[in-house]
Amino acid sequence: MTTIVLFPSVLGVRQGVTDAAELLREHGHEVVVLNPSDAPVSDDYDTAIPRFQSIGDDVLLERTTRGAADVQGPFVVLGFSAGVVLAEMLALSRPGDVQAAVFFAGAIPVEYLGGTWPAGVPVQVHETLEDPFRDEGFAERLAADVEAAGARAEVFHYPGSGHLFTDASKADEYQPAEAALAWERVLAFLDALKG
C-alpha cells in the first residue's frame, strides 16, 4: 500500500478530486486529501485564481506542512493544477519522506520554489497540449531538475485543451479517453514503486 497526499486545484475538492481519491483507494492505496488554500468548490477560475494567489506562498507552505504533519513517510504527492505547487512544496520540505510525485495539469521548475528536487524521487506529469493554463516548457524543465537529482521523469502530453481533463464533473474540460490513459499510466507508476 502506498500513501498518497493529494492536492486539488484552485477549484477545490470537486467531484473529480473525490473520484481520483476513490480510484486510488480501490487500487489499494491510502489517500489523504489536503486543501491548504481552503478553496471552496467552484467552476469559476476568474474568482478562484486571484483568491489562491492572495494567500501567499509562505502561508500556503505553512498550511501544507502543518496539514501533512501526521502523514508518515514514505508518501507520494499528487497535485492537480495549482495543487501541483503545494505538492512540490511538500516534496521539497520533506525530502526524506517523499517517494514519488504525480502532477496533473501543471509543473513548476524547482528554481521557482527555491530548492532542489529530492534525490532519487521520480515524477510523472500529465497535461494536454492545448491547455490554456499550460506554461510551455515548464514540464520539461521540471523533468530536467528531476533527472539531475538522479530520478526518472516522465512527461505525457495528450491531445486536446482540457485543463482538469480527468474531472468528469467538469464537462467543458473532461476528456474521457485521455483521462483513462493517464490513470492507467499513474497506476502502473505507483505499482512500480513497490518493486
Rounded distance between C-alpha atoms, residue 28 and residue 39, angstroms: 28
Number of domains the chain is built from: 1
pLDDT of residue 63: 96
Can you give the CATH number for the domain in which 50 is found? 3.40.50.1820
The predicted-structure confidence for 65-97, as pLDDT tens digits, reads as follows 999 999 999 999 999 999 999 999 999 999 999
Closest CA to 78 of 12, 3, 164: 3
Q: In Å, how far are 15, 16, 67, 174 from 171, measured between CA atoms?
A: 12, 11, 31, 5
C-alpha cell at 123: 515524477
pTM above 0.95, yes or no: yes
C-alpha cell at 72: 508518515
Domain region containing 123: 3-193
The predicted-structure confidence for 149-173, as pLDDT tens digits, reads as follows 999 999 999 999 999 999 999 999 9
Task: Provide the pLDDT confidence category of residue 181 given band limits of 50, 70 and 90.
Answer: very high
Contact 110, 39 (CB under 8 A): no
Rounded distance between C-alpha atoms, residue 175 and residue 16, angstroms: 12
Closest CA to 178 of 188, 192, 167: 167
Rounded distance between C-alpha atoms, residue 6 and residue 186, angstroms: 13
Cis peptide before 36, with omega less than 30 degrees from 0?
no
Scan for cell 510525485, then name that residue. 101
Rounded distance between C-alpha atoms, residue 24 and residue 139, angstroms: 24
The strand pair at 98-104 and 123-128 is best described as parallel
The predicted-structure confidence for 20-41, as pLDDT tens digits, reads as follows 999 999 999 999 999 999 999 9
For range 54-61, the mean pLDDT: 93
pLDDT of residue 194: 80
